Chain A
Amino acid sequence: MEFEAVIGLEVHAQLLTKSKIFCSCSTEFGATPNSQTCPVCLGLPGVLPVLNKKVVDFAIMLGLATHCTINKNSYFARKNYFYPDLPKGYQISQYELPICSNGYIIIKTKDGEKKIGITRIHMEEDAGKLIHEGAYSLVDLNRTGTPLLEIVSEPDMRTPEEAVSYLKELRQILLYLGICDGNMEEGSFRCDANISVRRKGETKFGTKTELKNINSFRFIQKALEFEIERQIDIIESGGTIIQETRLFDSSKGITLPMRSKEEAHDYRYFPEPDLMPIFLDDSYIKEIKNKLPELPYEKRQRFMKSYNLPEYDVEILTTDRSLADFYESCVKLYNNPKTISNFVMTEVQKELNERKCSITDTKLKPEHIAEIFKLLDENKLNYNSAKALLPKVIETGKNPSLLMEEMGLIQISDTDQLKTIIQEVLKQNKKELKEYLSGKEKLFAFFIGQVMKKTSGKANPKILQELLKDMLSKISIDDVDNLYTKK
């Protein structure tokens, strides 16, 4: 019997506002515990929240980017529960009327594109953190009041791969909008998963479990795979799934029960009386809409169409909005999209990966790339030298032509000069030469390599090839021992 999984995801995205959602404390990560607090986020008696307008703007941006309805009238609600990292004893969130609802995003699956529904997006405040030290539990409230968007999907995903694809797409949208840094390790992009299984063809949902605390794409994949397996095993052996919340243990790769449905909180939601309802008018929403950047999906479509690039290239070039912008600027200066794409995807990307940084963190400019290609076209530089040149450009931001000279990377295209070097190489490698002349033609590359070594890679490869071929064809095996001496 074949089973399929039904997966819905809840994502919490921390917003890149400078200050918290209801007070003016900084949201910066990693400060001394409790140094970024004030009476408001500490929940001292008598304080009141004041909404950070930026949070509303960011929520609208994400709503528009995910094709949601922006609800012109929404309000905050209190979610009541007790925990030491929640200083007021309630979290200010949205419940009955969230700011955005009924949207979707398009993801890639092995069977092509698929629409995943977004049920709702709402604004809320983050809680603090507990640090357990020996017999004590310490409370750090720096994170308390950091703005979050909770993005709830429809149960539209059927495989762990689809779930990961959805998360990657959503994360990319957030990054494109510049409203979340997407850092999963630091917890600025967190995911809970609701998952159930059912026999294929069944239309009713099975009993679901909720998986919490999964902080990387790999773990999400593993947690879901494990949970699907676990649920199928239970059903196949005649058991029933218990509705519960489970925690993913990343070290063991398994999920463990955390609390059952019976132990679930009654959050006693009610409208937050300390904040006014949010009223948005059309012109305000339109203003934000006009400022939205091109989104990943649209960008990818356009790149494929206008640059005629394969999907693979587009995927890589558009991972990062700044990289995509960089690529486009390069193409404007040097109109050979595929060549630039190859170079950016391989050489530039390699340098960025090594430095663990984004293109905007370096001194590399599109003008540099165009210049490098000009030098290549003019035979002043060969590809190897271009590769050697790139890190220096990235570090110094200097003009490639200038650097090429400074580094002595100018290509040797002078035939006399190259001939002399080839002669030297052949004389020094008589054994290989004899073998070559006896038919071991693979050694041609060996000679090229030797010349390159002698010229520190600066020989013009095209001219070198032609010269070498020509010179080798003029040598007979008997001449080898006295090569180039009689003359």
Chain B
Amino acid sequence: MNLLNLSITQLKILIEKKDIKPQELVELYIKQAKKYQGKTNAFISFDEENIIGQVKELERKLEKGFSGKLAGIPVAIKDNICTKGIRTTCASKILHNFIPPYDATVVEKLKAEGAIIFGKTNMDEFAMGSSNETSFFGPVRNPWDLERIPGGSSGGSAVTISAKQAPAALGSDTGGSIRQPAALCGVVGLKPTYGRVSRYGLIAFGSSLDQIGPFSRNIEDCALLLECISGYDVKDSTSINVDVPPYHKNLSKDIKGLKIGIPKEYFIEGVEEDIVKNIEHAISIFKDLGTEIKEISLPHSSYGIAVYYLIATAEASSNLARYDGVKYGYRAENINDLKNLYIKTKKEGFGEEVKRRIMLGTFSLASGYYDAYYKRASKVRTLIKNDFLKAFEEVDAILCPTSPTTAFKLGEKTSDPIQMYLSDIFTINVNLAGIPAISIPCGFDKKGLPIGMQIIGNYLEEQKILNLSYAFEQNVGGFKYSPFEEDKKWSSKQS
């Protein structure tokens, strides 16, 4: 039995039955993570000693009767989520040496369930990007084709799943940063309802849009991870004070009678043919599963990108102001006055894309422009949100592609920011509305690259989109999430 091929829900049972020891599992994954790091560059920080230390402590606790929903499961963490004592860089030079003195709430929660914090994953700098090419620590490569990007910004986290460098991972999603890389890497990624998961300890990009969510190989794992990280947090005033349902236990294939909306605006020109075909096939499967398919309209969809790049950048320009070289992080050298300390630190510490967005946001908030840009964008945001609310009066969920393209080549879009921004055209509106959405694999294009399908739910209806995904997954016989050869060998051995 190759443990690398088991889902975390399967591993959990083996650990609980004491069939395997957590240390054994973790050491196996350490080997795998290191083996593929050179190829994928999925990790920014990977402290083996620290990981072994965690496992040993956990084993001591297990002996004393500790039990947790994730006991012994390695979980890779996106490098914009603070981990106490472990460097957290946001893939930026400006935080290249920042070691948080505290854990993000999600990290505390994972630890409380016995999870092993398994390295910090690569990402676009400050989560600003859709290809993972803006990282100060170099781009991440897609395991399905190492010449291609994995998507972003949580590219590293998506890749750890696809390359089996970790069995589970957390990412963050501001405009599609979990769902788009999940789609491009052929794995499952979920962005919860805004406020479902505490943002405390998530280094802010667009505060009103950011949300932490899980990456996994299958829906069961996704449900379990979501259950473990969700919940009200007194440290996050924007978190929702509503009980967390047992998503995992409540998983059900019974989706008969549910209504799925297909937004006509989402099958626009520019969506790759293979993607359209696969989505249409998926729709037919859902029909077979007893759901009702209905065409719906989200009339303000096309404004999403414009609204997003005003609001997210405005918030970012303020959120990133604190990186000034005074207290922590990178500080420019040989400076003798305050103004130059600020200018040089920021100039040298931030990458191109981050600087572009800080400037965009600064303009959108500037006096004289505020009403025309930020304020107007906020109003259109409400219209976009209302589109969804109206749609959910008629349907239970909305289905569409996650991304208009499959994974593109490294460098293909770096010189054309607008083209890059369009990668998130189907995901962005979900963040603007604050609703949950999941991306699940739904086939491959002619080049053999994974295609993702997005299922969008109403506020706090994560269970519904998980159940729809679960029914689909079971119907298609599970997802093929990893391209690696040795696994194929293993699966043939198994059969």
* C-alpha spacing A80/B208, complex, angstroms: 17
CB neighbours (8 Å) of B98 from chain A are 45
**Chain B binder among A60-68, A86-94, A440-448:** A86-94
CB neighbours (8 Å) of A88 from chain B are 321-322
Chain A proximity of B316: nearest CB distance (Å): 11
Given contacts A44-B328, A45-B90, contact A80 B318 (CB under 8 A): yes
Q: Are B327 and A42 in contact (CB under 8 A)?
A: yes
Given contacts A266-B367, A268-B366, contact A46 B201 (CB under 8 A): yes
Let me know if A333 is at the binding interface, CB within 8 A. no
Q: Are B365 and A44 in contact (CB under 8 A)?
A: no
* C-alpha spacing A47/B367, complex, angstroms: 27
| Residue in B201, B203, B314, B318 whose Cβ sees the most chain A Cβ within 10 Å | B318
Let me know if A48 is at the binding interface, CB within 8 A. yes
Let me know if A50 is at the binding interface, CB within 8 A. yes
* C-alpha spacing A264/B421, complex, angstroms: 35
Q: Are B238 and A50 in contact (CB under 8 A)?
A: no
**Chain A binder among B229-237, B438-446, B451-459, B473-481:** B229-237
Which residues of A in the span 24-58 have a Cβ within 8 Å of any Cβ on B?
39, 42-51
Name the residue of chain B whose CB is nearest to the CB of A49: B237
Let me know if A397 is at the binding interface, CB within 8 A. no
Let me know if A233 is at the binding interface, CB within 8 A. no
Name the residue of chain B whose CB is nearest to the CB of A264: B367
Let me know if B14 is at the binding interface, CB within 8 A. no
**Chain A binder among B23-31, B41-49, B99-107, B182-190:** B99-107
Given contacts A268-B362, A268-B367, A270-B374, contact A46 B321 (CB under 8 A): no
Given contacts A45-B100, A268-B362, contact A87 B318 (CB under 8 A): no
Q: Are B327 and A87 in contact (CB under 8 A)?
A: yes
Let me know if B225 is at the binding interface, CB within 8 A. no
Let me know if A82 is at the binding interface, CB within 8 A. yes
* C-alpha spacing A42/B327, complex, angstroms: 9
Chain A proximity of B171: nearest CB distance (Å): 15
* C-alpha spacing A45/B318, complex, angstroms: 12
CB neighbours (8 Å) of B207 from chain A are 273-274
**In the complex, which of the residues B234, B321, B367 contacts A50, with contact meaning CB atoms closer than 8 Å?**
B234
Which residues of A in the span 257-303 have a Cβ within 8 Å of any Cβ on B?
266-270, 273-276
CB neighbours (8 Å) of B238 from chain A are 48, 273-276
Name the residue of chain A whose CB is nearest to the CB of B104: A46
Let me know if B326 is at the binding interface, CB within 8 A. yes
CB neighbours (8 Å) of A178 from chain B are none
* C-alpha spacing A205/B280, complex, angstroms: 69
**In the complex, which of the residues B88, B236, B317, B374 contacts A45, with contact meaning CB atoms closer than 8 Å?**
B88
* C-alpha spacing A137/B341, complex, angstroms: 13
* C-alpha spacing A44/B101, complex, angstroms: 9
Given contacts A80-B321, A82-B321, contact A139 B374 (CB under 8 A): no
Let me know if B95 is at the binding interface, CB within 8 A. yes
Q: Are A43 and B322 in contact (CB under 8 A)?
A: yes
CB neighbours (8 Å) of B88 from chain A are 45-46
Q: Are A268 and B318 in contact (CB under 8 A)?
A: yes
Q: Are A84 and B338 in contact (CB under 8 A)?
A: yes
Let me know if B204 is at the binding interface, CB within 8 A. yes
Chain B proximity of A95: nearest CB distance (Å): 11
The total of Cβ contacts below 8 Å across the A-B interface reads 100
* C-alpha spacing A88/B203, complex, angstroms: 12
Given contacts A84-B338, A268-B362, A270-B374, contact A45 B203 (CB under 8 A): yes
Let me know if A20 is at the binding interface, CB within 8 A. no
Let me know if B36 is at the binding interface, CB within 8 A. no
Q: Are A273 and B322 in contact (CB under 8 A)?
A: no
Q: Are A50 and B237 in contact (CB under 8 A)?
A: yes
Interface SS of B by simple majority: loop
Q: Are A90 and B321 in contact (CB under 8 A)?
A: yes
* C-alpha spacing A125/B328, complex, angstroms: 22
Chain B proximity of A328: nearest CB distance (Å): 44
Q: Are B101 and A47 in contact (CB under 8 A)?
A: no
**In the complex, which of the residues A46, A80, A269, A276 contacts B100, with contact meaning CB atoms closer than 8 Å?**
A46
* C-alpha spacing A266/B315, complex, angstroms: 16
* C-alpha spacing A87/B80, complex, angstroms: 19
Let me know if B308 is at the binding interface, CB within 8 A. no
Q: Are B326 and A139 in contact (CB under 8 A)?
A: yes
Let me know if A78 is at the binding interface, CB within 8 A. yes
CB neighbours (8 Å) of A47 from chain B are 200-201
Chain B proximity of A408: nearest CB distance (Å): 65
Which residues of B in the span 231-276 have a Cβ within 8 Å of any Cβ on A?
234-238
* C-alpha spacing A84/B98, complex, angstroms: 18
Name the residue of chain A whose CB is nearest to the CB of B321: A89
Let me know if B224 is at the binding interface, CB within 8 A. no
Let me know if B202 is at the binding interface, CB within 8 A. yes
Let me know if B342 is at the binding interface, CB within 8 A. yes
Chain B proximity of A262: nearest CB distance (Å): 13
Q: Are A48 and B235 in contact (CB under 8 A)?
A: yes
Given contacts A43-B322, A87-B327, A89-B318, contact A273 B82 (CB under 8 A): no
Q: Are B237 and A39 in contact (CB under 8 A)?
A: no
Name the residue of chain B whose CB is nearest to the CB of A268: B365
Q: Are A46 and B365 in contact (CB under 8 A)?
A: no
CB neighbours (8 Å) of A42 from chain B are 327
Given contacts A139-B326, A268-B318, A273-B207, contact A45 B237 (CB under 8 A): no
Q: Are B314 and A89 in contact (CB under 8 A)?
A: no
Which residues of A in the span 416-473 have a Cβ within 8 Å of any Cβ on B?
none
Let me know if B93 is at the binding interface, CB within 8 A. no
* C-alpha spacing A45/B201, complex, angstroms: 7
* C-alpha spacing A273/B318, complex, angstroms: 11
Chain A proximity of B78: nearest CB distance (Å): 12
CB neighbours (8 Å) of A84 from chain B are 324, 326, 338
Let me know if B408 is at the binding interface, CB within 8 A. no
* C-alpha spacing A78/B238, complex, angstroms: 16
Q: Are B318 and A46 in contact (CB under 8 A)?
A: no
Name the residue of chain B whose CB is nearest to the CB of A78: B318
Additional 4 contacts, C-beta under 8 A, given A78-B318, A80-B317, A89-B322:
A44-B328, A82-B342, A90-B318, A268-B317
| A-B contacts, 10 listed (Cβ < 8 Å) | A42-B327, A43-B322, A45-B100, A45-B204, A50-B235, A80-B321, A80-B365, A87-B322, A269-B370, A276-B238
On B, residues with C-beta under 8 Å from A are 80-82, 88, 90, 95, 98, 100-102, 104, 199-204, 207-208, 234-238, 314-315, 317-318, 320-324, 326-328, 338, 342, 362, 365-367, 370, 374
The list of the 9 closest CB pairs from A to B, nearest first, reads A89-B321, A268-B365, A273-B207, A273-B208, A45-B203, A46-B201, A46-B82, A46-B203, A89-B322
